[in-house]
Chains A and B, each alone.
Chain A
Amino acid sequence: MLPISYGTAIIVFCIGLYTILSKRNLFKTVIGLSLMEGGVLMLITSSGYVPGGVPALLPFAGGEPVNPLPHSFTLTAIVIGAADVALALAFIIKIHRRYGTVDIDKIRGLRG
């Protein structure tokens, strides 16, 4: 189960990286950022998984708990990621008001 989880996280991360590098639409860039964030969160959470573990709620009924430290990291990272996406989208709206397009090549051409 863990190799599948790690592999999925890495594949999702690479899909996000490919999206950021190859797409020219700014919305696609933010979507790629979200995908990369999802891959990283999944990797961190998988690293805390113990085979046959139970959730880290006292008293641990029925076995050893999983590692709660990565969970507390990812929990705050998700909320901050949503705030980051909001800031990026706000910048996209501002760029669209200024340049009238969300295509990154056109924006580059306009500036130069």
Chain B
Amino acid sequence: MKSPRNLQRLGALALSLALGWWLWQGVTISPFQGITGPAARYIHGTARDTGAANVVAAILFDYRGFDTLGEASVIYTTVCGVALLFAKRRYRRSSHGLSFIVKRSMALLVPFILLYASSIIVMGHLSPGGGFQGGSVMATVTILFCVIYGSSFEAARVSPKVKETIESSGALLFVLIGLVGLVTGGAFLTNIAAGFPRGTMGQLFSGGTIPLLNIAVGMKVGAGLSTLFYSMVKILEDPTESSPPEV
């Protein structure tokens, strides 16, 4: 029992070391020669093509918007998979949450966390942030709810169906904004050329479709990750506890 186990470990160690050495050889022979290719075009053309101040957001939602749609649909597929795996179980109360002081403090903190998340989403084309980050903060707020108030609190107020609707409408908003480009005779997800206002760089209303797509992706990621977490929490129920949680 003991010797083949150690042999397996030794083999894994040898394989990892060999792969690491090989990767290191590959890394050290590639010299750095400036920013060339598409990245240079993105850096120099962002102000002219999109009007957004954040180059990363411009790449995500303008130059490579179709890729972002595909990546958002990956999240949708994962949520569907997890929800399907745990389809038959129902929400029940799992715990009563933490003490009164923690609950009141959380109630005071939640508006500010939500404000932070909204500002990350809305200012995504001006500063670091965007739909992915803000949506993750929103999902983290629902996880905090689950930890502090018990798992049935949030599920009773925002039902899973509402979250699914929010996620689907986020995807639909994304596709509809993309279709505007097709209607005006351009390509899918055309931004400035389809007639969206470029605005002044640095203002809130600038960047054409980028703020709208940020909001769509924020809805999608926030609702999707929250649904992932609650699909897994659903099975944490303990039928022996009977009294309802006090809020």
Contact = CB atoms under 8 A, between A and B. Distances in A.
The answer on direct contact between A and B (beta carbons under 8 Å) is yes
Interface of A: 2-3, 6-7, 10-11, 13-15, 17-18, 21-22, 43, 48, 50, 55-59, 64-65, 67-69, 71-72, 75-76, 78-80, 82-84, 86-87, 89-91, 93-94
A57 B55 contact: yes
A16 B47 CA distance: 41
Contacts of B79: 83
Nearest to B227: A86
Contact of B75 (A6, A58, A68, A80): A80
Given A14-B17, A22-B8, A90-B81, A68 B86 contact: no
Interface of B: 8-9, 11-13, 15-17, 19-20, 23-24, 27-28, 32, 35, 38-39, 42-43, 46-47, 52-56, 59-60, 64, 67-68, 71, 74-75, 78-79, 81-82, 85-86, 127-128, 130, 132, 136, 201, 221, 224-225, 228-229, 231-232, 235
B13 A6 contact: no
A18 B75 contact: no
Nearest to B71: A76
B59 A90 contact: no
Contact of B53 (A57, A67, A87): A57
A56 B59 CA distance: 11
Nearest to A22: B12
Given A56-B55, A83-B228, A90 B86 contact: yes
A49 to B, nearest CB: 9
20 contacts: A17-B12, A18-B16, A21-B8, A21-B15, A56-B54, A56-B56, A57-B54, A57-B55, A58-B52, A58-B53, A68-B56, A68-B59, A71-B56, A76-B67, A79-B132, A79-B225, A80-B75, A87-B78, A87-B81, A90-B81
